[in-house]
Each structure stands twice: as structure tokens, then as C-alpha cells.
């Protein structure tokens, strides 16, 4: 770990981390632009970089992207990212009462503390979990991937069936290309362009950036809302740490553990933490009217969820959200396989991610503390300038992958598919993660069947694999069980009255 910090403090790594965090904060502060879009657009540029440089840049963007959302959530009641929705509940009323500086100060402090506490979990748990995951064979990996996919599809907001269908569709789009096991083209329909399959980057850029831009283009043109830029210094004192300490500790633990579970995400972490804090408060009626603990709870949890989500990513190669799926793509591009072997094969990257996460939080504190008013002003850049620039970056980025336009057309096609799926209220998260995880799931299943001579019953003798499948089944059945329980409770309440 110490080596990772020493490597990170080399000037180039530190510069990339600084640049990534700054970019992430700005993009996170702009409503409509997300950290996943920024990371997807930056990926093509990382081809030519050293893997540690690339990963520090992307981690910085991830941390900055989630944290930056609080600025416009507090000043404009427009959360820059979904993770900051909860911050609008109390942050904006505080700004309206003439305390924007105090709300921003508390939000920034809470974000950093959430990040640091979840870093302790990340640094403490990851190496141990990775060592534990070394015991896994192909059956365990296949079951783990299935569990992650099912959890992600089920826990994503919206219809369960559509979530599962999105995951299956994503998996189907990963099938065309050369099947490495037999060295023969599969589902290419005699098209040479499909021989190498659909590239991860064009798919990501299309599904997230292009579909988002097309949706934004169709939204009504509005003049920018007037913004009250903070005028005074951000007021926060050491005693605030003491006052909000228990709240921040609790929210960090909630955020980290929710981040660990695939598919739930930073916005739900913030919401659960906010609700818990309100329930435990002696004055719950003050929440939603500009109450300081509300800002602290949401911002602590959403940042802490990043550390939690990085744990399954680096220890088992399982993405908890779209952003982590893109980070897996980044590692794959640099010929690195995320999972337990990452700590053995590329410790500088595995520990580099952990170290970069901590330092990115500190850089975020420095940047937000000193430049929040300028970042708030940048977030007012008109949409026309932003969208036209991002479109050019999308085209150039997709082209730069292989220096050919096939990838650009694939990007456009997936932009249209992404837009269509969103119109039909099919979540994009499971779709992209299905696309990323499909090759791993197939490889592991084929490997396990080869090892067991085609005997599927072999999985019954694997306790970890069975536990993963049991959790997946429970996640699927949970809504039905809860529905039945609610119905029974409703009937019991009605019976005495009749």
C-alpha cells in the first residue's frame, strides 16, 4: 500500500488525479451530464497512457463526478447527479434562507468524511476479500456473475421484468464475433465488420452519451436559472465534526454497505441514510426545511457508496453500477483482468485504485473548498455549447479506438438503441452490465462444464456457488414474498373490522 502511495505521489500520477477530479467536479455540477458519461468519453484517450495514470484519472473523475452534484443541488435545486437528489431537500432551503455557504461547507465536509471512512473499509477489506476469492473456481465465478446480474436487474428502479430483460439483451449484444473456444465466427451473419464483435467503448459512448444528448436536445430550451454564487468563505468549524460525527459515521457505513450491493447506487444510499437520520432525529419535522443534518446524511452516504462499490470491483471483478462497468472496461483495455488476481498480477494498479480513491477525496476537498463559486459559474454554460462539443468528442473518441468509422456507426446505433430502451422504460444499467459480464459468464460456465464433463449437478457440491445462486433467487422472489406478506397483513387488519 505504501508503494502505491509513493507511486501516486509521482508528479504525472498526481497531475492526472488532479485533472480527473477537477473535470469530474465540473461535469458532476452540470445537471444532465454524469460521471459515467465523462469516464466513457475519456476512455479512448487513456489507450496511450500508462495503466496507473489512466486509472488515477478515471478514479478522480468518479469521485469528482459524484461530489460535484451537490453544488447545483444546493444553489439551484437541480442535482448535478442523481446521487445529490437528497441534498436538494435541505441544501436548497438553506440557500434560500441566506446560508448557501454553510450548506456547501457542510456538504463538502460530509462528502470528504464519507469518502475517507469508506476508504478505510476499502483498504481494510479488499486484500482479505481478494485472498478469499482466490478459492473460487469457474462454478463460483459463474454463480457470482449471475447473482450480480440478477441483483442489478432486480434492484434497479422500475419493472423487474424489464430490468431482467435489459440484462439479457445486453448479454445478447455481446455474442457476435469470433467464439474463442472454437475459433469460429458466431452471429456475424457474414458481415466482416462484426467479426470482432461490438466494441465496449462505442457501446458505452452510444448508450450513455449519445442517447443522453438526443434526449437533452429534445428537452425544452430554458434560460439558465439565476444562481446565488457564494460570496463569503465557507463556514465550517472543528466542532461541526463533533456535532455531526455520529451522523457521518452512520451514513458512511450505510453508504459503503449499499455501495457494495450491485445495482442500488449512490442515490439510494443517500436516500436510505437521509431517512434513517430523520427517523433517529429528535426533531424529524425540521427535515426538508433546511436542516443541517439532512445535508450531511445525504452527502456522506453518496460519497461513501463509491468506496463500497470499488470493493467488489477490484476483488472479484463484479461491477456494482454502470460507472464500475466502465472502469472494468478501462482495466480490460490495459490488459488487466479485475478480480482477485489483480492483487497478484498488477498490485500497483489494485493498490493504486485504493490509494487514488483516498487522495482524490482530499483533492476534491481542496478544489471544492477553494473554487466552489467558479465551478458554480461554469455549471451555467448554455446547453448548446456543451452538447455540440460533447457530440464531437463522442465521434472522435469512438473513431480513436481503432482508427475506423465502423465503431462510430456502432456508437450511433447503440445511441438509438439506448434512447429506444429509455423510451420504453427499460433501464440502461443492467443492459450495459449484461454486455460487460456476458463473456465472463459464458467463459466460466463453459469452463465449469468442461471440468465436470457436462455434469450440471456438480454445482450442488459447491457451497459458495450455491449460496450465490440462493441470493440471486431470493432477490428475484423478494418482491413476491413482500407482496404476499403485505396482503396477509392487510387482510388481518381488515378481519377485525368486518
Interhelix angle 211-218/383-402, rounded to 10 degrees, is 160
175 binds another protein, rule: CB under 8 A: yes
Q: Kindly list the distances between the CA atom of residue 65 and the CA atoms of 96, 118, 168, 418, 484, in Å, as whole numbers in the listed order.
A: 25, 17, 29, 22, 40
Restricting to residues 115-174, name those near another protein by CB under 8 A.
161-162, 164-165, 168-169, 171-172
What DSSP string describes 103-120? HHHHHHHHHHHHHHHHHH
Is 400 a binding residue for another protein by CB under 8 A? The answer is yes
Task: Return d(Cα 314, Cα 344) in angstroms, integer.
Answer: 12
For 185, phi then psi, to 5°, come to -65, 140
Residue 198 sits at the vertex; the CA angle it makes with 194 and 203, to the nearest 5 degrees, is 150
Q: Which of 128, 228, 289, 388 binds another protein (CB under 8 A)?
A: 388
State the Cα–Cα distance between residues 65 and 22, nearest whole angstrom. Answer: 9
Residue 97 as a binder of another protein (CB under 8 A): the answer is: no
Question: Contact region for another protein (CB under 8 A) — 231-239, 286-294, 357-365, 447-455?
Answer: 447-455
List the one residue from 2, 11, 48, 226 that touches another protein (CB under 8 A): 48
Q: Which of 7, 125, 186, 332 binds another protein (CB under 8 A)?
A: 186
Does the footprint of another protein cover residue 378 (CB under 8 A)? no
x/- mask, another protein, residues 289-318, rule CB under 8 A, reads ------------------------------
The correct pick among 77, 409, 459, 474 for binding another protein (CB under 8 A) is: 409
Residue 396 touches another protein, criterion: CB under 8 A? yes
Report the greatest alpha carbon distance in the chain: 76
Is 193 one of the binding residues for another protein (CB under 8 A)? no
395 binds another protein (CB under 8 A): yes
For residue 45, give the DSSP letter. Answer: G
CA nearest to 234, candidates 338, 92, 135, 365: 365
d(CA 265, CA 338): 20
CB-based contacts of 359, cutoff 8 Å, min separation 6: 5, 8, 14, 17
Segment near another protein (CB under 8 A); pick from 68-76, 83-91, 180-188, 361-369: 180-188
Please identify which residue in 14, 32, 179, 249 interacts with another protein, judged by CB under 8 A.
179
The smaller minimum CB distance to another protein, of residues 399 and 464, is found at 399
> Closest CB to another protein among 31 and 100?
31
Exposed/middle/buried for 459, CB within 10 Å: 0-12, 13-18, 19+? middle
| 221 touching another protein, by CB under 8 A | yes
Size of the residue set binding another protein (CB under 8 A): 62
392 binds another protein (CB under 8 A): yes
Contact 234, 108 (CB under 8 A): yes
Taking CB under 8 A as the criterion, the residue among 2, 11, 223, 457 binding another protein is 223
- Least separation in angstroms between CB 401 and another protein: 9
Q: Hey, how many other C-beta atoms are within 10 angstroms of the C-beta on 167?
A: 29
Distance CA 446, CA 374 (A): 54
473 touches another protein (CB under 8 A): no
Write the Ramachandran bin of 84: left for phi over 0, alpha for psi from -120 to 50, otherwise beta.
alpha
Interaction residues for another protein, span 425-444 (CB under 8 A): 425-426, 438, 442
Nearest to 369 by CA among 229, 226, 235: 235
344 makes contact with another protein (CB under 8 A): no
- Run of H or E residues at 186: strand 184-186
Smaller CB separation from another protein, 118 or 212: 212
Min separation Cβ 49 and another protein, Å: 10
| Binding test (CB under 8 A) with another protein, winner from 102, 291, 383, 462 | 383
Q: How far apart are CA 177 and CA 435, in angstroms?
A: 13
Closest approach of another protein to the CB of residue 161, in Å? 5
Residues that bind another protein (CB under 8 A): 45, 47-48, 161-162, 164-165, 168-169, 171-172, 175-176, 179, 181-182, 184, 186-187, 189, 210, 213-215, 217-221, 223, 382-385, 387-389, 391-392, 395-396, 399-400, 403, 405, 408-409, 412, 420-421, 423-426, 438, 442, 445-446, 449-450, 453-454
Amino acid at each position: 500500500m505504501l508503494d502505491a502511495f509513493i507511486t501516486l505521489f509521482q508528479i504525472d500520477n498526481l497531475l492526472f488525479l488532479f485533472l480527473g477530479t477537477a473535470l469530474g467536479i465540473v461535469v458532476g455540477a452540470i445537471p444532465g451530464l454524469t460521471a459515467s458519461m465523462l469516464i466513457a468519453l475519456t476512455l479512448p484517450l487513456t489507450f496511450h497512457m500508462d495503466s496507473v495514470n489512466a486509472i488515477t484519472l478515471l478514479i478522480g473523475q468518479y469521485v469528482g463526478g459524484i461530489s460535484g452534484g451537490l453544488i447545483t443541488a444546493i444553489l439551484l435545486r437541480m442535482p448535478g447527479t442523481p446521487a445529490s437528489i437528497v441534498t436538494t431537500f435541505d441544501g436548497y432551503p438553506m440557500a434560500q434562507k441566506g446560508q448557501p455557504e454553510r450548506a456547501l461547507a457542510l456538504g463538502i465536509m460530509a462528502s470528504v468524511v464519507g469518502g475517507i471512512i469508506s476508504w478505510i473499509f476499502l483498504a481494510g477489506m479488499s486484500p482479505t476479500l481478494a485472498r478469499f476469492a482466490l478459492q473460487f473456481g469457474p462454478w463460483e465465478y459463474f454463480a457470482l456473475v449471475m447473482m450480480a446480474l440478477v441483483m442489478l436487474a432486480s434492484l434497479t428502479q422500475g419493472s423487474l421484468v424489464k430490468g431482467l430483460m435489459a440484462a439479457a439483451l445486453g448479454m445478447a449484444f455481446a455474442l457476435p464475433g469470433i467464439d474463442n473456444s472454437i475459433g469460429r465466427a458466431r452471429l456475424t451473419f457474414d458481415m466482416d465488420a462484426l467479426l470482432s464483435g461490438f466494441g465496449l467503448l462505442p457501446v458505452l459512448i452510444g448508450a450513455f452519451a449519445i442517447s443522453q444528448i438526443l434526449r437533452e436536445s429534445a428537452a425544452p430550451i430554458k434560460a439558465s436559472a439565476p444562481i446565488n454564487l457564494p460570496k463569503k468563505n465557507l463556514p465550517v468549524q472543528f466542532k461541526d465534526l463533533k456535532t455531526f460525527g455520529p451522523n457521518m459515521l452512520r451514513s458512511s457505513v450505510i453508504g459503503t454497505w449499499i455501495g457494495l450491493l450491485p445495482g442500488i447506487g449512490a442515490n439510494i444510499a443517500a436516500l436510505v441514510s437521509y431517512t434513517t437520520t430523520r427517523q433517529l432525529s429528535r426533531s424529524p419535522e425540521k427535515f426538508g426545511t433546511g436542516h443541517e443534518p439532512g445535508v450531511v446524511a445525504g452527502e456522506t452516504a453518496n460519497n461513501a457508496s463509491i468506496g463500497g462499490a470499488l470493493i467488489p470491483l477490484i476483488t472479484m471483478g463484479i461491477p456494482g453500477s454502470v460507472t464500475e462497468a466502465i472502469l472494468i472496461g478501462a482495466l480490460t483495455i490495459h490488459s488487466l483482468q479485475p478480480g482477485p488476481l489483480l492483487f497478484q498480477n498488477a498490485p500497483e494498479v489494485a493498490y493504486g485504485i485504493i490509494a487514488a480513491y483516498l487522495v482524490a477525496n482530499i483533492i476534491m476537498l481542496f478544489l471544492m473548498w477553494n473554487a466552489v463559486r467558479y465551478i458554480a459559474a461554469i455549471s451555467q454554460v448554455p446547453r448548446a455549447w456543451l452538447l455540440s462539443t460533447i457530440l464531437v468528442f463522442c465521434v472522435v473518441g469512438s473513431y480513436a479506438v481503432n482508427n475506423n468509422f465502423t465503431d462510430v456507426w456502432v456508437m450511433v446505433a447503440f445511441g438509438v438503441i439506448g434512447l429506444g430502451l429509455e423510451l420504453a422504460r427499460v433501464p440502461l444499467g443492467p443492459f450495459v452490465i449484461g454486455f460487460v459480464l456476458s463473456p465472463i459468464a459464458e467463459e466460466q460456465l463453459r469452463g465449469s462444464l468442461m471440468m465436470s464433463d457436462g455434469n450440471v449437478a456438480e454445482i450442488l457440491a459447491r457451497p459458495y456457488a450455491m449460496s450465490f445462486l440462493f441470493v440471486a433467487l431470493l432477490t428475484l422472489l423478494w418482491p413476491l414474498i413482500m407482496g404476499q406478506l403485505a396482503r396477509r397483513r392487510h387482510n388481518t387488519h381488515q378481519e377485525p373490522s368486518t
